C-alpha cells in the first residue's frame, strides 16, 4: 500500500491548490537558438526557472514538486550535450543542496541513476540522506527516468518480492519509484509541445494538464501563478458527471 489513494480506486480529495505539481521543463535549446547561443547556454539559463519554481511552490505550501530533468530517451542526444547536462546536474546539486536543506526541502531523485556513475549516485544519496527529515516541499528530480521503465521496475520488484496471485493497482503503485508521493494534480509542460514524452505514465491517469508556449528559461513565478489559476478553474470529475459534483457541494 502507498500512503496515498489511487485516483481510479477511490475519489481523491482535491482543492484549488494542487498538492503535487509535475513539470516537463522543455525549450532550453530553442531559447538558446533564438539568442544565437549554444544549447548549453539554454540549459544553464533553465536553472533560474528551477529556482523560481522551487521557491514559488515552497512559498505557496505545495507538498510535492517533480521536475523532469533527463529522460531515458535523452541519451539519444549528442554525447557532448549529455556530458554537459550530467556535469550541470552535479555542480547544481553541490551548489544548491545546503540552501534547499536550510529551506526545509526534502530532496529526492527518481530514475535509473546508476547509468550516471558512482560519483553522481553517491552525491544523490548524500543529498537525500541530508534532507530526509525535512517537512517542507518534497522536490523530486527525475533523471534517466522513463514512465515505462518505472512500471517495469515495479513489476520486477513485485516478482522478486515473491508476490502471490494477481497484481492489483495498489500492489503495483507501492513499487513505483514515487511511492512516497500522491499522484500529480497538475502537470505543466513548457516549450509548446503537447506530449508526455514518457514521463509519469501511470500516475498521470487523472492529472490536469497545462501546456504553455513559454520556453523553460522564461518560466517564472508569473507563469506558475497562471498555471495555478488555470488549475483552480478545472472541474475534476474523475468519471462522474458535473451534476453529481454540484449535488455533493
Q: Identify the active-site residue in 74, 134, 179, 198.
A: 74
Burial of 165 (0-12, 13-18, 19+ CB in 10 A): exposed
Residue count, binding to ligand IPE (CB under 6 A):
18
Candidate ranges 70-78, 90-98, 114-122, 127-135; the one touching ligand IPE (CB under 6 A): 70-78
209 in Cβ contact with 187 (< 8 Å): yes
Which of Mg ion, ligand IPE, none is residue 110 near (CB under 5 to 8 Å by kind)? none
Q: What does the longest C-alpha to C-alpha distance in the chain come to?
A: 58
Active site annotation includes 221: no
Question: Using CB under 5 A as the criterion, which residues of the chain lie in contact with Mg ion when the complex forms?
Answer: 26
Which of positions 81-110 make contact with ligand IPE (CB under 6 A)? 85
Q: Estimate the crossing angle of helix 79-102 against helix 39-59, to 10 degrees.
A: 20
Q: How far apart are the C-alpha atoms of 187 and 54, rounded to whole Å?
A: 15
Q: What are phi and psi of 115, to 5 degrees?
A: -65, -20
Contact with ligand IPE (CB under 6 A) among 18, 45, 49, 70: 70
Q: How far apart are the C-alpha atoms of 203 and 201, rounded to whole Å?
A: 6
Which of positions 195-214 make contact with ligand IPE (CB under 6 A)? 195, 197
212 in Cβ contact with 227 (< 8 Å): yes
Q: Identify the active-site residue in 26, 150, 185, 218.
A: 26
Least distance CB 104 / ligand IPE (angstroms): 26
Nearer to Mg ion, 26 or 208 (CB): 26
Q: Is 71 in the site for ligand IPE (CB under 6 A)?
A: yes
Which of positions 1-40 make contact with ligand IPE (CB under 6 A)? 24-30
139: which strand partners? 65, 107
Q: Estimate the crossing angle of helix 39-59 against helix 221-232, to 10 degrees.
A: 60
Nearer to ligand IPE, 145 or 231 (CB): 145
Three-state secondary structure readout of 129-148? HHHCCCCCCEEEEEEEECHH
Grid cell for residue 58: 515552497
Active site annotation includes 16: no
Nearer to ligand IPE, 69 or 97 (CB): 69
Candidate ranges 67-75, 101-109, 127-135, 234-242; the one touching ligand IPE (CB under 6 A): 67-75
Least distance CB 77 / ligand IPE (angstroms): 8
Q: How far apart are the C-alpha atoms of 18 and 185, rounded to whole Å?
A: 5
Q: Is 218 in the site for ligand IPE (CB under 6 A)?
A: no
Residues with a catalytic annotation lie at: 26, 74
Name the site residues for ligand IPE (rule: CB under 6 A): 24-30, 68-71, 74, 85, 191, 193, 195, 197, 216
Amino acid at each position: 500500500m502507498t500512503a496515498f489513494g489511487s485516483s481510479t480506486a477511490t475519489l481523491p480529495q482535491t482543492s484549488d491548490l494542487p498538492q503535487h505539481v509535475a513539470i516537463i521543463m522543455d525549450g532550453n535549446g530553442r531559447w538558446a537558438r533564438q539568442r544565437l547561443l549554444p544549447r548549453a547556454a539554454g540549459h544553464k539559463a533553465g536553472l533560474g526557472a528551477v529556482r523560481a519554481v522551487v521557491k514559488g511552490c515552497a512559498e505557496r505550501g505545495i507538498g510535492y514538486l517533480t521536475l523532469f530533468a533527463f529522460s531515458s530517451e535523452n541519451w539519444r542526444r549528442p554525447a557532448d550535450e549529455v556530458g554537459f547536462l550530467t556535469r550541470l546536474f552535479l555542480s547544481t546539486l553541490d551548489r544548491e543542496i545546503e540552501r534547499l536543506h536550510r529551506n526545509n526541502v526534502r530532496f529526492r531523485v527518481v530514475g535509473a541513476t546508476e547509468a550516471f556513475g558512482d560519483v553522481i549516485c553517491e552525491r544523490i544519496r548524500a543529498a537525500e540522506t541530508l534532507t530526509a527529515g525535512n517537512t517542507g516541499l518534497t522536490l523530486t528530480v527525475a533523471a534517466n527516468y522513463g514512465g515505462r521503465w518505472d512500471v517495469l521496475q515495479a513489476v520486477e520488484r513485485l516478482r522478486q518480492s515473491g508476490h502471490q496471485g494477481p497484481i492489483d493497482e495498489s500492489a503495483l503503485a507501492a513499487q513505483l519509484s514515487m511511492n512516497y508521493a500522491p499522484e500529480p494534480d497538475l502537470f505543466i509542460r513548457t516549450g509548446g509541445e503537447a506530449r508526455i514524452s514518457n514521463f509519469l505514465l501511470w500516475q498521470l491517469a487523472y492529472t490536469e494538464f497545462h501546456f504553455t508556449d513559454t520556453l523553460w528559461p522564461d518560466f517564472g513565478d508569473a507563469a506558475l501563478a497562471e498555471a495555478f489559476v488555470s488549475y483552480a478553474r478545472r472541474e475534476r470529475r474523475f468519471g462522474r458527471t458535473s451534476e453529481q459534483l454540484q449535488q455533493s457541494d
